Amino acid sequence: MNILVIGGGGREHALCWALAKSPAAEKIYCAPGNAGISEVAECVPIGAEDIENIVRFASDNQIDLAVVGPEAPLVAGMADQLRAAGISTFGPNADAAILEGSKAFMKDLFAKYNIPTAAYGRFTDYDAAVAYVREQGAPIVVKASGLAAGKGVIIADTEEGAINALSSIMQDNAFGEAGDEVVIEEFLTGEEASFFALVDGKTALPLVSAQDHKAAFDGDTGPNTGGMGAYSPAPIVTPEIEAFIMEKIIQPTIDGMAAEGRPFTGVLFAGLMISKGKTKVLEFNVRFGDPECQVLMARLESDLAEVLSAAAEGRLDQIKLRWQEGSALTVVMAANGYPGSYQKGTLIEGLDAAGSMDGVTVFHAGTKIENGNVTANGGRVLGVTAVAPTTKEAQAKAYEGVDKINWPDGFCRRDIGWRAIERE
């Protein structure tokens, strides 16, 4: 089959890498791709949000399966347009992608279908939002309801901090239209985990658990990022907790979305807070997480092309997933200054030395080829991923890979996986 992956980050590199192992995959394209993806797929110079040209390319090149990586094109209706052109597509239609596109919609769905989550209010009026903060007190969480590239969540330790966040979002338009409505939530404590399920509209198939590290620096300090590393499995997600997640969170969401006339197809990514055995949903995303996708693909033994086709075509009840035992761990290497301002175009060397290590794969997130060299082209740039029998061994192997890479303009955390290693 001919497969088109849409996107150009670490998640898409991991998907292309896993799809390339499928005997069914004759030709893999990626739009726009990156330097690393070009080794396993043909990169096409079309932006991930250019729906019209993506659909035209897919039609012209007899694409049998389109896999939409990022959330923005899904929310904008890319899957609708691809399906309308007769192309089998992995990813939700715009009506279902609203689960990520509107936190306000998502929270109302949770309330309607008794899905466990933090108490909340939703507001389009600034004064009403301020009054709610005064009433609830701090700590409290302020979120832009729309898509804000992972940056629209502010945890405020004081009422004044929350009100400043509201002013920034609602009055100064810090996140543009994404902040036209805000969700204000109760602050939950505990341990966060990521849970993924493949969904074909009616059947849900759980993937193995994962956990990422959002803070920029060691010890979970510094500003929040898109994710500085991840590992799988996440020991906090016990078999009992997984059963609860499927029964009380994933299935009611799928049934609720179908009842609302918005059947969901694709991957449902639940960000969870787990405390003393109790689990609540922080948020849903409608695509694979990055860097969680890298550790999931590193452990997946099933044929990904077959699995995603089954999800797109409503045949998930025929699929049984196979996973590699042990652990996978990804260390993200980011450009100095990230998540603030950073320099692009810096030279990266030593990638072959790292990638040739047994059990190590270097996924590219923000790279491009310039004059035959690989250079940095984003904030999060590489995901050095290792598989091993234990998280501790996977961590050691991943950092050995990191140390073979010569990139003075980048940095990484040195403690990825610490929670799981403590438990081991």
- Cα pseudo-dihedral 36, 41, 47, 50, rounded to 10: -160
Instruction: Check whether residue 135 and residue 168 sit in a common domain.
Output: yes
Instruction: Check whether residue 257 and residue 211 sit in a common domain.
Output: yes
Question: Quick check: 107 and 55 in contact, CB under 8 A?
Answer: no
Domain boundary among 292, 318, 344: 318
Quick one: pLDDT at residue 374?
Answer: 97
Q: Give CA–CA dist 326/56, Å, rounded.
A: 42
Quick one: pLDDT at residue 121?
Answer: 94
Q: Classify residue 281: in a domain, yes or no.
A: yes
Instruction: Check whether residue 10 and residue 55 sit in a common domain.
Output: yes
Question: Quick check: 316 and 203 in contact, CB under 8 A?
Answer: yes
Domain of residue 161, CATH code: 3.30.1490.20
Q: Give CA–CA dist 344/383, Å, rounded.
A: 17
Residue 394 identity: A
Q: Give CA–CA dist 53/176, Å, rounded.
A: 26
Instruction: Check whether residue 175 and residue 264 sit in a common domain.
Output: no
Instruction: Check whether residue 294 and residue 197 sit in a common domain.
Output: yes
Q: In DSSP terms, which residues pair with 268 in a beta bridge? A: 197
Instruction: Check whether residue 195 and residue 314 sit in a common domain.
Output: yes
Polymer length in residues for the chain: 424
Q: Classify residue 185: in a domain, yes or no.
A: no
Contacts 24+ apart (CB under 8 A), 133-139: 133/159, 133/162, 133/163, 133/166, 133/184, 134/159, 136/184, 136/186, 138/162, 138/187, 139/187
Quick one: pLDDT at residue 174?
Answer: 85
359: alpha, beta or left? (left if phi > 0; alpha if psi -120 to 50) = left
Instruction: Check whether residue 293 and residue 204 sit in a common domain.
Output: yes
Q: Classify residue 114: in a domain, yes or no.
A: no
Q: Classify residue 157: in a domain, yes or no.
A: yes
Domain of residue 81, CATH code: 3.40.50.20
Domain interval for residue 255: 191-318
325: alpha, beta or left? (left if phi > 0; alpha if psi -120 to 50) = beta
Q: 3-class DSSP state for residue 228?
A: coil
Instruction: Check whether residue 173 and residue 204 sit in a common domain.
Output: no
Instruction: Check whether residue 172 and residue 285 sit in a common domain.
Output: no
Domain boundary among 133, 159, 180: 180
Per the structure, the count of domains in the chain is 4
Domain of residue 205, CATH code: 3.30.470.20
Q: Classify residue 186: in a domain, yes or no.
A: no
How far separated are the first and last CA of the chain, in Å rounded? Answer: 42
Q: Classify residue 101: in a domain, yes or no.
A: no
Q: Classify residue 40: in a domain, yes or no.
A: yes
Domain of residue 374, CATH code: 3.90.600.10
Question: Quick check: 69 and 287 in contact, CB under 8 A?
Answer: yes
Quick one: pLDDT at residue 289?
Answer: 92
Q: At what angle do helices 292-299 and 10-19 cross, to 10 degrees?
A: 10
Q: Which is nearest to 78 in space by CA: 1, 5, 138, 155?
A: 5
**pTM to 2 decimal places:** 0.94
Contact partners, residue 334, CB within 8 Å, separation at least 6: 216, 225, 228, 342, 379, 380, 381, 410, 411, 412
Contact partners, residue 17, CB within 8 Å, separation at least 6: 40, 297, 361, 363
Q: 3-class DSSP state for residue 183?
A: strand
Instruction: Check whether residue 310 and residue 214 sit in a common domain.
Output: yes
Quick one: pLDDT at residue 223?
Answer: 85
Q: Classify residue 386: in a domain, yes or no.
A: yes
Residue 300 identity: L
Q: Give CA–CA dist 269/360, Å, rounded.
A: 25
Quick one: pLDDT at residue 151?
Answer: 73
Instruction: Check whether residue 244 and residue 301 sit in a common domain.
Output: yes
Instruction: Check whether residue 143 and residue 247 sit in a common domain.
Output: no
* Mean pLDDT per 10-residue section of the chain, whose length is 424 residues: 97 98 97 97 97 98 97 96 98 96 94 96 93 93 85 88 91 88 93 94 93 94 91 94 96 96 96 92 94 98 97 95 97 96 96 96 97 96 98 98 98 96 86
